[in-house]
Amino acid sequence: MRNIIVRSISGLVYAIIFIAAILFSAESYIALIAIFSTICVFEFSRILQLKNILPYLILALFIYASVVKIPSDFNGFLIGFSFASLLGLLYYLISTKVIKTNNSLQKIFLHLIYLILPFYFLIKLPFIENTYHPTIIIYIILMIWTNDSFAFIVGKNFGKHKLFESVSPKKTIEGFIGGLLFAVLAGFLIGKFGEYPNSFSILNWILIAIIVAVFGSLGDLVESKFKRQANVKDSGKIMPGHGGLLDRLDSLFFLAPFIYLYLHYII
């Protein structure tokens, strides 16, 4: 009972800080993501047993790049590189092959493709035609919570077939489908009743919900694979009852490049 109370309070404080920063201003959102990403780099470095300042310097460079004007061609290169790199990590997940972390160079590269580039696109995600739209991030978080909650509920009550048992024994195919369906429902309701840029349609939000459910779930599994390889349960202890910040954000930052690609290059 005490653990549930601690977990609830910790989760509530996290949600209040996150949502308040998103809604207050573009600057507070960027500042919070900069802080969150730094903590995640620290936690990921511990998982990979890397003691090197270079990931923090690279992160600082990309945070700076996210708030200044850079050539669109270079941004296109970054999204293509990030897209291909994350698909590479998914290959290691699906194939059950070990992700190589034999030396510092490989570990730094994993920081770049798994954390730094996704956080870069997470910062840029709510800026449509140079205008900050905080509701975009709020709605994406809402769809993640919907997906996670109903994946747990459906999986617990109806789950029989394991999704990726070697990485996360509790996740089931039934839970994944349940989370996906309710995320799509959330996307439909957001598209019908929410406030968002005029270029967005109900169909856009349904497709965004599918991206959120699919790549958010995969992001959680990729982090579980890193932790299983390192033989650790949680990425950290910053959130009592939840673990580390990386454990809370693994879905959000992993899906960010895919949502950014859809919002800025497809719509």
Predicted pLDDT at 161 = 86
Phi, psi of 164 (to 5 degrees): -140, 80
How confident is the prediction along the chain (267 residues), in pLDDT tens digits per residue? 566 677 777 778 888 999 999 999 999 999 999 999 999 999 999 999 999 999 999 999 999 999 888 777 888 899 999 999 999 999 999 888 889 898 999 999 999 999 999 999 999 999 988 899 999 999 999 999 999 999 999 999 998 888 887 788 888 999 999 999 999 999 999 999 887 777 789 999 999 999 999 999 999 999 999 999 988 888 888 877 678 899 999 999 999 999 999 998 887
Residue 76 pLDDT: 87
DSSP 99: P
For position 18, what pLDDT does the model report? Answer: 92
Angle between helix 245-261 and 72-95 (nearest 10): 120
* Structure token pair of residue 184: 């799509």
Contact 93, 167 (CB under 8 A): yes
- CA torsion, points 143, 109, 87, 159, in degrees to nearest 10? -50
Domains of the chain, by residue range, sit at 1-266
Alpha-carbon distance 120 to 75, whole Å?
11
- Whole-number pLDDT of residue 2: 61
Q: Which pLDDT belongs to residue 194?
A: 84
DSSP helix/strand/coil, 18: helix
Yes or no: say if 79 and 26 are a contact pair by the CB < 8 Å rule: no
Sequence-distant (6+) residues with CB within 8 A of 217 are 147, 151, 171, 176, 179, 251
Q: What angle do CA 105, 58, 229 make, to 5 degrees?
A: 45
Percent helix, strand and coil across the chain, each to the nearest 5: 75, 5, 20
Residue pair 196/138 in contact (Cβ under 8 Å)? The answer is no
The pLDDT value recorded for residue 56 is 97
pTM (2 d.p.): 0.93
- Compute the distance between CA of residue 47 and CA of residue 126 in angstroms, rounded to an integer: 30
* Per-residue pLDDT, 45: 96
